[in-house]
């Protein structure tokens, strides 16, 4: 009789342990972005995946410090300091991060602002726009559609034919002369 009791207790303990191992768990419902990320200071649209996707460390290794600050941290280069505000060669301006063609020299104009300015991107799908409410202003931010690199802003005070002024940081751009 005592032996049977011991046997049943052993069976109960084994059953409890087995249940702990195989019991169903609630599905993992943690969001893909940490809840502590403030959308106002998040540098890229939440959850947005670009065709060219690199880690922060990879961008830092690839870019010089100013290009990194501007393209990946939405910085702005000082006016009249960049390579291209006073640049008049014929050719194509490309993304410094991923090489995608962004602007054509034919659409470039002298805005007098100290930043290279264009009336339009080389193709509508080359850039994406997003409302930027930083620094107490409402502006339209422009970034590369392929890698998300911050390029600058677009303003509705440009010349013909579009009336738009794409105000772009030189440091966000590369340049390929026309052949």
Query: Catalytic residue among 97, 98, 147, 167, which?
Result: 167
Neighbours of 45 (CB within 10 A): 13
In the window 90-119, what residues touch Zn ion (CB under 5 A)?
A: 95, 97-98, 100
**x/- string (CB under 5 A) for Zn ion, residues 133-152?**
-----------x-xx-x---
Q: Binding-site residue total for Zn ion (CB under 5 A)? A: 8
Q: Are 174 and 97 in contact (CB under 8 A)?
A: no
Task: Decide whether 64 or 110 has the Cβ nearer to Zn ion.
Answer: 64
Least distance in Å: CB of 147 to Zn ion? 3
Residue 11 CB contacts under 8 Å (≥ 6 apart), including other chains: none
**x/- string (CB under 5 A) for Zn ion, residues 30-69?**
----------------------------------------
Least distance in Å: CB of 74 to Zn ion? 14
Least distance in Å: CB of 40 to Zn ion? 23
134: helix, coil or strand? helix
Q: Angle at the Cα of 95 (from 53 to 114), degrees rounded to 5?
A: 135
- Burial class from Cβ neighbours inside 10 Å (0-12, 13-18, 19+) for residue 76 reads middle
Task: Decide whether 13 or 84 has the Cβ nearer to Zn ion.
Answer: 84
For residue 108, CA distances in Å to 69, 87, 136, 167 come to: 24, 9, 29, 10
Task: Kindly state the tokens that stand for 128.
Answer: 């994406």
Least distance in Å: CB of 33 to Zn ion? 22
Question: Would residue 167 show up in a list of annotated catalytic residues for this protein?
Answer: yes
User: Does residue 165 touch Zn ion according to CB under 5 A?
Assistant: no
φ/ψ of residue 152, rounded to 5: 165, -145
Supply the residues annotated as catalytic: 167
List contacts with Zn ion (CB under 5 A). 95, 97-98, 100, 144, 146-147, 149
């Amino acid at each position: 009789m005592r032996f049977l009791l011991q046997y049943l207790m052993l069976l109960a303990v084994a059953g409890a342990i087995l249940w702990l191992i195989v019991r169903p768990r609630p599905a993992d419902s943690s969001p893909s972005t940490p809840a502590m990320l403030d959308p106002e200071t998040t540098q890229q649209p939440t959850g947005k995946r670009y065709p060219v996707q690199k880690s922060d460390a990879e961008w830092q290794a690839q870019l010089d410090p100013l290009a990194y600050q501007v393209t990946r941290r939405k910085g702005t280069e000082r006016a009249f300091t960049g390579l291209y505000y006073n640049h008049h060669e014929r050719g194509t301006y490309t993304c410094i991060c991923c090489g995608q063609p962004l602007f054509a020299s034919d659409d470039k104009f002298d805005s007098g602002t100290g930043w290279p300015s264009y009336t339009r991107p080389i193709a509508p799908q080359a850039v994406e726009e997003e409302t930027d409410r930083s620094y107490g202003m409402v502006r339209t931010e422009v970034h590369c559609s392929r890698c998300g690199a911050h390029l600058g802003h677009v303003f509705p005070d440009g010349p013909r034919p579009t009336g738009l002024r794409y105000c772009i940081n030189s440091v966000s751009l590369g340049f390929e002369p026309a052949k």
